[in-house]
């Protein structure tokens, strides 16, 4: 199974006799509290036009639980997540395609959660909605109830202690922008910097100018240069476990399994007892 699907391939599948379940996960990292900008409204964007048949999924409410000590986007309650996915028509025996507004972070969060909880066939639309050349719809579908029941895989998830250990025993990638990794700026969390031993690997370098993922061979070369191989365990974190999911997806495209530290920097930095590294080097 591939982790991504092109817009052309998706159009063919929709036109075929067994279209996938479509999930629209438009979301944007908001700095509204810090800058006074209006909050992004993904549901309004969805209502204005979406891929026909797609169901809107709210990242903040259905793909995460309330922010707190475990970070800004902790894991959702699995019973509530499963119920939300069933309402959206998700069933174990039917493929799922997720998309967002083009950055790829939110769609990857949905992809990762569904894969981590046992769905066998989930793909992200490469390039998101901007790559879609077909018609858009303003009709909100009412899908039949799905049968998906989450069954999480502990191997795909890291907590703070496991992330710290992995930074020494394997490769821990920091998916945030380089200036946040280096501690030069921190617009959201308590303090800037990174987990000691983590390697800077911004998500922007996983995609080309069109927002689509680089070819698998190029991604393998990129991650190899960062010390990643199939011989060592790999983990990823970011600010709150959203953009890091895009990096896990990029690694999957490259054929490299990786675990996600969902709490990420928002959880790590909230505890003053945890060490913080700054500067361009891992330590």
Cβ contacts of 41 within 8 Å, gap of 6 or more = none
What does the block give as tokens for 187?
Answer: 């617009």
CA–CA dist 38, 82 (Å, integer)? 31
**Number of DSSP helices (H) and strands (E) in the chain, helices first:** 11, 10
Which of these, 50, 126, 116, 37, lies nearest to 88 by C-alpha position? 50
Q: Tokens for 71?
A: 């970070």
CA distances from 265 to 128, 174, 230 (A): 26, 9, 25
Catalytic residue among 238, 248, 256, 260: 238
- Where would I find the beta strands (DSSP E) of the chain? 4-5, 21-24, 55-56, 96-99, 122-125, 157-158, 171-174, 199-200, 234-237, 259-261
Q: Is 124 a catalytic residue?
A: no
* Angle 6-9-13 from CA coordinates, rounded to 5°: 135
Whole-angstrom CA distances from 2 to 122, 127, 160, 211 are: 8, 15, 30, 18
Closest CA to 72 of 271, 272, 263: 263
**Token pair 């959206």 in the structure block, residue:** 88
Nearest to 264 by CA among 32, 61, 29, 24: 29
The answer to whether 13 touches 22, Cβ cutoff 8 Å, is no
Active site residues: 238
């Amino acid at each position: 199974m591939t982790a991504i699907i092109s817009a052309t391939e998706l159009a063919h599948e929709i036109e075929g006799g067994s279209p996938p379940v479509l999930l629209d996960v438009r979301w944007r990292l908001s700095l509204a509290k810090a800058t006074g900008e209006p909050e992004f409204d993904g549901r309004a964007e969805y209502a204005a036009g979406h891929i026909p048949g797609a169901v809107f999924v709210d990242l903040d409410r259905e793909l995460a639980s309330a922010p707190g000590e475990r970070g800004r986007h902790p894991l959702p309650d699995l019973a509530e997540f499963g119920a939300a996915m069933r309402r959206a028509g998700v069933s174990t025996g039917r493929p799922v395609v997720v998309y967002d507004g083009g950055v790829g972070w939110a769609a990857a969060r949905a992809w990762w959660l569904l894969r981590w909880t046992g769905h066998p066939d989930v793909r992200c639309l490469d390039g998101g909605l901007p790559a879609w050349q077909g018609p858009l719809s303003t009709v909100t579908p009412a899908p039949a109830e799905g049968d998906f029941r989450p069954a999480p895989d502990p191997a795909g998830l890291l907590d703070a202690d496991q992330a710290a250990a992995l930074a020494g025993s394997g490769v821990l990638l920091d998916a945030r922008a380089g200036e946040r990794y280096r501690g030069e700026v921190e617009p959201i969390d308590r303090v800037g910097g990174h987990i000691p031993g983590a390697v800077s690997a911004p998500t922007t370098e996983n995609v080309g100018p069109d927002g689509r993922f680089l070819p698998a061979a190029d991604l393998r070369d990129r991650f190899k240069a960062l010390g990643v191989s199939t011989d060592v365990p790999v983990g990823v974190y970011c600010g709150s476990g959203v953009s890091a999911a895009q990096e896990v997806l990029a690694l999957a495209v490259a054929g490299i399994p990786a675990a996600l530290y969902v709490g990420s920097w928002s959880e790590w930095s909230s505890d003053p007892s945890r060490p913080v590294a700054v500067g361009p080097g891992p330590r």
